[in-house]
Structure 1
Amino acid sequence: MELLLFRCLVAAHIAAGATGAIAFWIPVVGRKGDVNHRKWGRIFTKAILITGCLALTMSLFTLYDPMTVHPHLVGRFDADFVRGMFGVMMLHNAILTLNLAWYGWLCVQNRRNVAANRTPLNVALQVLVMIAAVFCAWDGARIHQPLMMLISVVGMATGITNLLFLYSHNPSPVMWLKEHVKALVGAGISVYTAFLAFGSVRLFPALALNPAMWSVPLVTGLIILIYHRIRIDQKAGISVIPQLRRRAAASD
């Protein structure tokens, strides 16, 4: 019964995650602020929140009884490894995904009204992701899994930088938009990482810890994030590159 319920959670998780993974690209590559951007942005956010909740539940099942809910890993990995990678780390990643999706959604809803983002839930998510990051790093050190320690840095950095914005005074007029992009692109990276890394365990268990499975979504997401941040600065007239060009021209 426990395994059947877990498999139902996995199926729902895949369906919600696939919806989010597809919806992700329409706001990213489409025209910003138009009807399609807002519509698919809402679909993406809802799908990611559902995906995160399901991942959170799956991680708790794994923490409770790792080998029963992952019978395909019996004989390949021990219980400590499975509990760490698919329990502790998935718990961290689930909280991180929920954090990013909710935070990014609030940023675009409240825009320059930063104080409105300081809801109990939003602030609690920042604290939770930092606690989860510490737990993930500690357990990774305990079972000698550096990947868990590395991914915990992302969670800790997310919580810290989000809190810095939430409690900032007089932020840049476009800072809310940068935070919105950062958070939702980060949530997209999380979804694709789950598909490529965690998903590969079922098909190709030996690839589960392959750095390439984790680096592809990260590198792609960083390129998207840097591109959009540059575009935001350019539209706001605060891009560093034009300023440097003007200074160079003035000095000639």
Structure 2
Amino acid sequence: MDLFHALVILHIVTGTVGLVAFWIPVGTKKGARAHRRWGWIACYGFLGAGALAIAMALLSLYGPQTRIPSVTDRTLFAGLFGWMMLYLGILTIGFVDYGLAVVRHSRERARLRSPRYQAVIAAVVVSGAWCGYFGASIGQPLMVLVAVVGIVAMALQEVFIFRREVPRGAHVGEHFRALIGMGISAYTAFLSVGLVRSFPEQVFNPMIWAGPSVIGVSLILFFTLRSPNRRRPARASGPARAGN
């Protein structure tokens, strides 16, 4: 077994752990022990899958050209299984990092402005911009779509990070949306590994690839509309007027 196929197996294992564990914290009481425990398992699973996706993407771009013999268009292969996979791996890690950070620093939101967190967001934006550019240059709107979704998500995160005031508890919505985004990117990256081997004739079907994004973005929009971020921050009570 060569290195690439060993990475594929590890990617499937870690991705399966994340994909299964992901739904338990979504469906359990927020803050409960099961929510926290399974949330950590899902996050670590997705972090592993994201890192392995990056490694496989780099091997696809710079390794032997026969990784998937059924794909004869090597430029298209480099786009979908190289640059898009690389971007999705970074995006998955970025969502996990932010989703955990907004809870860890819920009382010190300014910590999210540090180079440590801004570098991760910048990596997502740069890789997404290149993915979108490469996709546009080879006529693949799918690559442009996933790039736009990730870049917009990063922009919304920056709005939250740099806002002067946010409502109390707003970090909960940010946490949820980030981890839903994590699920979108991980499911999409996972499809690119498993789908091409099980159903190679469907590997470029845009409806299959768009499925996780449609479902995930719908959930994000639904919870965004219900989020306290849409309410104005409560004003602090001022001193009582003289004579009252």
The reply to whether TM is greater than 0.5 is yes
Kindly indicate whether the alpha-carbon contact (under 8 Å) linking 2:60 and 2:81 is maintained by their aligned counterparts in 1.
Answer: yes
Offset at residue 48 of structure 1 (A): 1.0
User: Could you tell me which residue of structure 1 aligns to residue 174 of structure 2?
Assistant: 179
1:13 counterpart = 2:8: no
Report the residue type matching 2:214 in the other structure: V
Match of residue 24 from structure 1: 22
2:154 pairs, out of 156, 159, 166, with 159
* Partner Cα separation in structure 2 for residue 143 and residue 222 of structure 1: 26
Corresponding position of 1:137: 132
Q: Distance in 2 between matches of 1:227 and 1:155?
A: 18
Pair 1:123–1:104, CA change in 2 (3 A) = same
Q: Which residues of 2 match residues 1-80 of structure 1 at below 5 A? A: 4-65=2-63, 67-68=65-66, 70-73=67-70, 76-80=71-75
How much has 1:136 moved relative to structure 2?
Answer: 0.8
Counterpart residue type for residue 33 of structure 1: G
Measure how far apart 1:142 and its partner are.
2.1
Once structures 1 and 2 are overlaid, which stretch shifts more, 163-172 or 85-94?
Answer: 163-172
Q: How does 1:91-240 map to 2 (within 5 A)?
A: 91-229=86-224, 233=228
Deviation for aligned residue 1:143? 1.7
Q: TM-score, normalised by structure 2?
A: 0.87
Deviation per CA, 1:116-171, whole angstroms, max 9, x where unpaired?
22332310011111111111112112222111111110121122222222222111
Amino acid at match of 2:50: G
Higher helix share: 1
What CA distance in whole angstroms lies between the structure 2 residues aligned with 1:215 and 1:160? Answer: 21
CA 1:197–1:63: 2 relative to 1, 3 Å: closer
Q: What residue identity is the alignment partner of 2:111?
A: A
TM-score (norm 1): 0.84
Is 1:85 aligned with 2:77? no
* 1:72 partner SS: coil
Q: What fraction of aligned residue pairs are identical, expressed as a percent?
A: 38
Judge conservation of contact 1:92–1:155 (CA < 8 Å) in 2.
no
Q: Distance in 1 between matches of 2:194 and 2:144?
A: 20
Contact 1:45–1:101 (Cα < 8 Å) also in 2 = yes
Q: Which residue of 2 aligns with 1:244?
A: none
Instruction: Please list every run of 5 or more consecutive structure 2 residues that lacks an aligned counterpart in the other structure.
Output: 233-244
Residue 247 of structure 1 corresponds to none
Residues in 1 aligned to 2:152 and 2:31: alpha-carbon distance in whole angstroms: 28
Gaps of 5+ in 1: 240-252
Contact 2:81/2:192 (8 A) holds in 1: no
What does the per-residue CA deviation read over 1:211-242, in whole Å, with 9 as the maximum and x for residues that have no partner?
Answer: 22123222322343345446654xx9959xxx
SS at 1:67 equivalent:
coil
Going from structure 1 to structure 2, the CA distance change for 1:117 and 1:225 (only over 3 Å counts) comes to same
